[in-house]
Structure 1
Amino acid sequence: MGTAEQDARGFAELFREAYLRFHRRDGKRAELSGASRAVLLHLSQAGPMTVGELALHLERAQSVVSEIVSQLEGKGVLEREPDPQDRRRTLVWLTPEGFAVLRADREVLSIDALAEAFGGLTAAERAGLLTTLSQLVRSNGATP
């Protein structure tokens, strides 16, 4: 153990190595285009809405957003449902598959590779690693 700065440098080097070793290499991030990702992310944060409302929020033409929604609906990640407040309106919402695709898209590290590596640690070592990393993240107070 050295000074806080020396330990920070050591951590930064280990973090770089861990990132390179456990980074996802399965190509799944390419599954979503930027526009599709924007639609899914916005819906996941704002909740169900009409295509027109979604176009307004995303500052895109309604026809463009409608086409994206139709493509995503065809892939089973979005569905259209009647608005319970006004049956004349149709809302767009994520399916369970849509939430899974979005979750996988956000994963930077390979869960499979990490799980394999974690399998070589004891339960106490895993708990200690997670506790310490959590404390480190919280100690700065800055949010990503």
Structure 2
Amino acid sequence: MSDFDLDAFLPYQVNVLAARMSREFAERYRARFGISVAEWRVVAHLSQTGPVSVREIHARVDMDKSKVSRAAQRLEAAGYLRKRPHPGDRRLVELSLTPKGQAMMAELTEIAKAYQTDLAARLDGEKPAFQAAIQRLLDRDGAEN
């Protein structure tokens, strides 16, 4: 028997926690809008950046380009985003939220805030320390990659 304890291994714990939180949050927005995790990420990213290409979203949210493209197709079909030729590179497509997509994001923002409040309550006052620790790990990881 190994002396390695998977349940105490920090990368494992973070991965399990991230997957659980993603599922919990997805249940909330899926119930309201019927969108997938990939679609949520595309809409959320566009709400923060404005018009960008699939390539830029792929790089920022760490999702396969094909997954971003499929999510964008579904969002476009539902009227939440529009596609246009990228002004700087005609080989790329630029994505942007439509007014309907902006309205959905306004509601998604409230859903996200409510979920964040629920998570903070579970942390019982330790949220600032928890977020600071996560940020230190993210900053260090980003500097090494």
Q: TM-score, normalised by structure 2?
A: 0.50
Highest Rg: 1 or 2? Answer: 1
Q: How many residues align?
A: 83
The 5 Å alignment of 1:44-83 reads 44-83=47-86
SS at match of 1:60: coil
Identity of aligned residues (%): 37
- Matches of 2:63 and 2:40, distance apart in 1: 14
Deviation at 1:48, TM superposition (A): 1.1
Change in Cα spacing, 1:67 to 1:28, as seen in structure 2 (3 Å) is: closer
Deviation at 1:28, TM superposition (A): 6.6
CA contact (8 A) 1:29 1:105 kept: no
RMSD: 2.1
* 5+ long unaligned stretches in structure 2: 1-27, 112-127, 129-145
CA contact (8 A) 1:28 1:104 kept: no
The 5 Å alignment of 1:86-101 reads 86-101=89-104
CA contact (8 A) 1:28 1:105 kept: yes
- Matches of 1:54 and 1:28, distance apart in 2: 20
Deviation at 1:81, TM superposition (A): 1.1
Q: Kindly indicate which of the two structures has a greater share of residues assigned to helix.
A: 2
Residue of structure 2 equivalent to 1:135: none
Deviation at 1:106, TM superposition (A): 2.4
- Matches of 2:110 and 2:30, distance apart in 1: 8
* 5+ long unaligned stretches in structure 1: 1-26, 109-141
Q: TM-score, normalised by structure 1?
A: 0.51
- Matches of 1:46 and 1:93, distance apart in 2: 9
SS at match of 2:45: helix
1:53-86, Cα deviation, whole Å (9 max, x unpaired): 2111111111111111101010000110122333
In the alignment, is residue 102 of structure 1 matched against residue 105 of structure 2?
yes
- Matches of 2:86 and 2:105, distance apart in 1: 23
